[in-house]
Structure 1
Amino acid sequence: MLALVAALFTAAPAAHADDTAFELRPLVPAGADHQQKLRAEVEHWTLAKMAAVGLNHEDQDATPPPGGWDDLGKPWPREAGLVSRTAGKIFVQFTDVDTGAVTEDACSGDVVNSANQSVVVTAAHCLRIHTPVNIGFGNVIATNMVFVPGFNGANLPRHTTSTALPGKDIAPYGVWGVTREWFTNTWSQSADWLLGHDMAAVLVANPDDPRPIGQVTGGQEIGFGQPQRQTQYVFGYPTINERNYYRPGKVSPQLQRTFDGRSLMVAQGTPWADPVYYSDVMPGALSPGCSGGAVLQNFDPATGKGLQTAVFSRYDDPGQIIGIMGWVEGPNMSSTHLGDEERAVYNVAQSASPA
């Protein structure tokens, strides 16, 4: 197992000598057995595994604030425009680089328009984390990853032990295996949020559908170096209430709410610009599970179309002058604004072959 991890962590040759994107070893390499390995990656995620990883740890579905859902976080209606197809849930298996221990988690992602029609944008920490002296999140790397656009967790039984694979009721556009992955050069040097640039682009393929994902779901436009302090909509699948700043007992009763990981949620507001991390920060109640979720400007709720200008990265607490607890819970959401490093990642990914 450790040999596999070492191979995955070795940088593949850069597509262009002048780009700054860092590529991990492919999760599903090209070759005669590519389709077989792609199918194995996808079929790892049975109903039981998806339920264990993708739903919260409580025996209770999401609960809204007493006054109803608000702009800090509310469900996005199913099948409502483009974003209901492009936004999706990521299921990832991590392997500890030092010990070989395996854990599994969930993130969010979004299909963006690209030359190869195969690019999903997410957060770099959904692929690789190495926190200082292995505290917190440790030293882990993704060894299996799938993307489920339009994930509908309402039909996923909570305590199932089923080894069946999800159908169209849960994965209406299929389950897509991640084949290749890139993140920013900064994240390759400091995979711990300390220097920012927490963005990744992955290529996906479906063993049961020869079409690229962009032909199945469509894609959001993506923009780099766009103006900040614009109205933004953050989309993702909040799941973990242990790190939910707005959970009962943490905040005043009128703000309390919980999440279940079943549904696409959205927070909206006008962020301020963090000049240190080049990030967009705004009040938002969406809990962990939203990592890598799309941040859209110029968003039209009627069509579900927008311009992706950032990806959700971590939380922010202005009261936490020393320490990182505010990065873990909030109350604000901090998103990586897409700039030159992120453009390099996208450009390499969109010009690459998924296999």
Structure 2
Amino acid sequence: MITAKRHTPARIFASFAVAASALVLVSAPASAADDRVVTRVSAAGRAAALAHWTPERMRQWVGDDSLPPAEKIGQEWPGPVPAGVGRLFFTAEPGVDESCTATVVPSATHDVALTAGHCVNGGLDRFDNPIRIVNVVFVPGYDHGKAPHGVFPVRAFAWPSTYSGPTSGTDDDAVIALDPVDGRHVADVAGTQDVSFDRPPSPVDTAVLGYPVSQAAGGEALFSCVRPATLEANSVTTTWNTDCDLAGGSSGGPWLRGFDPATGRGTIFSVTSRGTMTEDGVTTDLSGAAFTDPVRALYELAWEL
């Protein structure tokens, strides 16, 4: 997996999960029809998240010499951030600030975004203790410290029960539900990207978007790769793969087919899940889990969060 972590270039294939705390409530799947794991954040937890993520804290990675080298394939997005795409900030306790990428998607409530499962599933530490994910906020359109649409606290997040945590590449997807800001829903102010669960033919021309926390911009800018993605399946996982080199922080970013750079719109068919890094911290490839029926069910029930 690839996330941004302070003073660490990237977390690759780390093992994390979410546990209950005073600020969150984790509930196991209730039935076969509700085959997901849901975490709901209290009002106090949402207020704490907004207080935690000051503009200065969001920019804390800028100028960190320990970050991975700048991307060579991925390039900074040249115009306004495409509809619905933004930066997801959170804290993996005991106090490590991190970031991922997420995208607003169509929903009945107009307040749902899609990201990677490992961005909200903390897994276990080296002593097998659960790592809690707290202080979760989403900033659509984030650009060099600016939050043009506001900072949205996350009131709930969920992943399919088929996702077993950050050591797994299967169904590494999650949905997040956001509080309105000043009475405005995130989809109404930031727009959305379409989602399709029909598997496109392989290879497929793909635009991969994300906020890599590398020396190129320290997570402050959206980057993109326009590369072919190839479907690969084995006895364990089915993934889309590309040689895109976006660094940590790009996890959860959308993989878009039919993407039109002029309009900044396309159709999501996967999100960034994992990456391979050299000893020098250079990402050599990315993969995204192919959408499955459990992920479709997760998305279709996201409006209930």
Question: What is the TM-score normalised by the length of structure 1?
Answer: 0.72
| Deviation digits for residues 132-177 of structure 1 (CA, Å, limit 9, x no counterpart) | 8559xx7423122000011011xx4xxxxxxxxxxxxx10000000
Larger deviation, residues 40-49 vs 289-298: 40-49
Q: CA deviation at 1:301?
A: 1.0
Counterparts in 2 of 1:24-173, with a 5 A limit? 24=39, 26-28=40-42, 34=43, 38-52=46-60, 54-55=61-62, 57-58=64-65, 65=72, 72-79=73-80, 84-95=82-93, 101-130=94-123, 133=126, 139-153=130-144, 156=145, 170-173=146-149
Determine if contact 1:56/1:261 at 8 Å carries over to the other structure. Answer: no
Aligned to 2:21: 5
Report the residue type matching 1:27 in the other structure. Answer: V
Q: CA deviation at 1:240?
A: 3.9
Pair 64,182 (structure 1): closer, same or farther in 2 beyond 3 Å? closer
Aligned to 2:238: 278
Report the residue type matching 1:10 in the other structure. Answer: V
Pair 5,226 (structure 1): closer, same or farther in 2 beyond 3 Å? same
Pair 60,142 (structure 1): closer, same or farther in 2 beyond 3 Å? closer
Pair 196,55 (structure 1): closer, same or farther in 2 beyond 3 Å? farther
Query: Which of 1 and 2 has greater Rg?
Result: 1
The total of aligned residue pairs comes to 284
Pair 239,228 (structure 1): closer, same or farther in 2 beyond 3 Å? farther
Return the match for 1:292 from 245, 252, 256: 252
Determine if contact 2:193/2:267 at 8 Å carries over to the other structure. Answer: yes
Counterparts in 2 of 1:232-251, with a 5 A limit? 232-240=206-214
1:304 has 2:264 as partner: yes
Pair 194,210 (structure 1): closer, same or farther in 2 beyond 3 Å? same
Aligned to 2:160: 184
Counterparts in 2 of 1:248-259, with a 5 A limit? 258-259=216-217
Distance in 1, Cα, partners of 2:201 & 2:251: 20
Distance in 1, Cα, partners of 2:222 & 2:301: 29
Aligned to 1:21: 36
Aligned to 2:10: none
Distance in 2, Cα, partners of 1:228 & 1:129: 33
| Deviation digits for residues 201-240 of structure 1 (CA, Å, limit 9, x no counterpart) | 000124x421211111111111113224211111010004
Determine if contact 1:145/1:178 at 8 Å carries over to the other structure. Answer: yes
The structure richer in helix per residue is 1
Paired residue secondary structure (1:10): strand
Return the match for 2:170 from 196, 216, 219: 196
Report the residue type matching 1:74 in the other structure. Answer: Q
Determine if contact 1:225/1:339 at 8 Å carries over to the other structure. Answer: no
The structure richer in strand per residue is 2
Q: CA deviation at 1:6?
A: 7.6
1:225 has 2:185 as partner: no
Unaligned runs of 5+ in 2: 1-17
Determine if contact 2:24/2:41 at 8 Å carries over to the other structure. Answer: yes
Q: CA deviation at 1:13?
A: 6.3
| Deviation digits for residues 78-126 of structure 1 (CA, Å, limit 9, x no counterpart) | 32xxx5241101110122xxxxx22210111101111111111011111
State, as a whole percentage, how many aligned pairs show the same letter.
27
Distance in 2, Cα, partners of 1:47 & 1:77: 22
